[in-house]
A and B are shown apart, each in its own frame.
Chain A
């Protein structure tokens, strides 16, 4: 027995109407604000010399194995991107002759990539089993291997391409930077910040980091200024010649805001950072989902319609 086209459309339209009518009263989910005690990193590309002390320190203090992108000559730890064995990596932007640092044309610049610890993380929103959690105090996005079912939604959801799956293992986990939570727990700071010799990566409370970033944007190129090293509120500083900045703190609002902040001398897009709306992906998708499923009214009505169609069309068989 075939469903008549007319009947099918009738039911479908009814379901659609109900879904649409229930959508209007639901408001978009409230955007998430920054946590007061949140901690993070400020990476200043103009200060970075590309020494990779952070890369080595990250590997050492997180006990991560070698990741080689040259299998014919596996002498180095040289991944091309963050991967299941690499939380933190320094990448190079190079154009033309690459002779001048922090210049887009015929210049070069470094960028450090690791988890951004988003204010409203897409990975956490996408995770069906709450294996990814945001610490209510520090705001660090951490991973619980016990809860993870290995669906890799987080990997797809992350706009920064950070969570990485251990495809090579029999019992795989998701691997991502957790801002050295084990070190924070004993009152130490993230290894990448602690071992950065130039102060390109500094650790601190996000509000202090934001204030420091804004301060730097106000500096005039050519003057000497004191830059904090390791901790934004620490005693150690280094005096350096200010070079021009792109007048933006990446991560202040991008993708709903992140706890890892960036300053740079060339455009962030050139450094491989995605262009994101101020609305986070998590908020946008949750708004759609929560609207469709609000009170389960639309799905139940839709199911009712389907049952009706099936019932009508199988009546004659009885």
Chain B
């Protein structure tokens, strides 16, 4: 991308420099494991005047996903995300409000039928006809069904919309359900991509969006509809504390000597061994070097994994998905049980002999009694 090309759209990306813009696109490409050249491709797609329209629906959520997205910093992402895509409706970020906002959504759906991306954060309450979350007087479950039908694809951002999240924790009073389940029950077949996490790393979301913008298709997904580039591996597999696990060095209490030494947090209930996410490599949010739960000395909570975060008690030990050898070795002359040694045999023989003699004596006495 030449400098003069960049000038034609520099205002479009919020006044970031050409260098920063290309850097950002390359980082996106590398976070998805794409070849270096893909960065330039992404850059070109990102400034294409035909930006894909995005409608962002919020259900039972805490706005954490939006907040973490807004705090992505390289480059100033709030500009880029707003200009890269055409964000037609977002309850937190919209300038208009009330009827005006609802009208914008209706107009965008009508105009971009089958072309827009629908992003959903928050779980969908379905109990009692969905009365526990209403927007503009309508249950969000109805709004979702109505909007989802016309979307090209749906991105469920955050654990709530991916698998239920906090609101679905027992006893789940609102009947909080993930987006894919609500749509499957309603027979709507629009593809759903899940980006679980509480909140998910914004770059996992941005990478998915950019992949879509660039290649006009969704990235490779796993069986739970999560992008493979982000959720292909267990946290345990890439964890910086893994060597301590393999060596059997564990922190057993918060603040104990082993905890201070930075040992493995498995015995404090770390859910890394059963949580698929890229936190060890991309860290948590955009908060700086080494900053993610395990990096700070707190066990992984499993926030992105269905049935783990908000469901398993915090200090309950994780179940191990992949069991691997430790970094200790069995010795070549390892003792595995013992055969009967000469002493054991002698002792056993002596006991048997004594028993035999005793029985014989008793039997003899009995015989004598009978004779009498």
Contact = CB atoms under 8 A, between A and B. Distances in A.
Contact of B332 (A52, A77, A111): A111
A272 B333 contact: yes
Quick one: which of B324, B327, B336 has the most chain A CB within 10 A? B324
B323 A81 contact: no
12 contacts: A66-B323, A69-B330, A75-B245, A75-B323, A76-B325, A78-B325, A79-B330, A81-B334, A90-B329, A91-B332, A92-B330, A94-B331
Query: Which bucket holds chain B's interface residue count?
Result: 10 to 19
Contact of A92 (B246, B320, B325, B332): B332
Contacts of B248: 73, 75-76
Interface string B274-314: 00000000000000000000000000000000000000000
B266 interface: yes
B338 to A, nearest CB: 14
Given A50-B329, A91-B329, A92-B329, A76 B334 contact: no
Contacts of A90: 329
A133 to B, nearest CB: 29
Interface in A79-126: 79-81, 89-94, 110-111
Given A78-B328, A91-B330, 8 more contacts: A55-B325, A56-B325, A68-B323, A75-B323, A75-B326, A77-B325, A79-B330, A92-B329
A270 B328 CA distance: 19
B331 A91 contact: yes
A92 B332 CA distance: 6
**Nearest 8 CB-CB pairings of A with B:** A92-B329, A272-B332, A76-B326, A66-B323, A80-B330, A80-B334, A52-B325, A93-B332
A110 B329 contact: yes
B252 to A, nearest CB: 12
Interface of B: 245-246, 248, 266, 320, 323-334, 336
A305 to B, nearest CB: 35
A81 B325 contact: no
A270 B219 CA distance: 54
B323 A77 contact: yes
A162 interface: no
A49 to B, nearest CB: 12
A141 interface: no
A282 interface: no
A100 to B, nearest CB: 17
What is the interface of chain A mostly: helix, strand, loop, or mixed? loop
B334 A270 contact: no
A214 B245 CA distance: 40
Contacts of A77: 323-326
A68 B334 CA distance: 15
A75 B336 contact: no
A192 interface: no
A280 to B, nearest CB: 23
B329 A56 contact: no
A190 interface: no
Contact of A78 (B245, B320, B326): B326
Contacts of B324: 56, 76-77
Quick one: which of B327, B328, B332 has the most chain A CB within 10 A? B332
A158 to B, nearest CB: 16
A46 B114 CA distance: 64
A271 interface: yes
A72 to B, nearest CB: 12
A185 B46 CA distance: 48
B331 A81 contact: no
A230 to B, nearest CB: 20
Contacts of A52: 325, 327
B74 to A, nearest CB: 35
A206 to B, nearest CB: 25
B71 to A, nearest CB: 36
A92 B245 contact: no
Contacts of B336: 80-81
Nearest to A67: B323
A160 to B, nearest CB: 13
A120 B146 CA distance: 74
Nearest to B273: A75
Contacts of A78: 325-326, 328, 330
A76 B328 CA distance: 10
Nearest to A65: B323
Contacts of A73: 248
Contact of A89 (B245, B246, B330): B330
A93 B245 CA distance: 23
Nearest to B326: A76
A271 B331 CA distance: 9
A270 B325 contact: no
Nearest to B336: A80
A78 B336 CA distance: 14
B328 to A, nearest CB: 7
B245 to A, nearest CB: 7
B319 to A, nearest CB: 11
Contact of B331 (A55, A75, A79, A93): A93
Quick one: which of A56, A76, A89 has the most chain B CB within 10 A? A76
A52 B327 CA distance: 8
A197 to B, nearest CB: 15
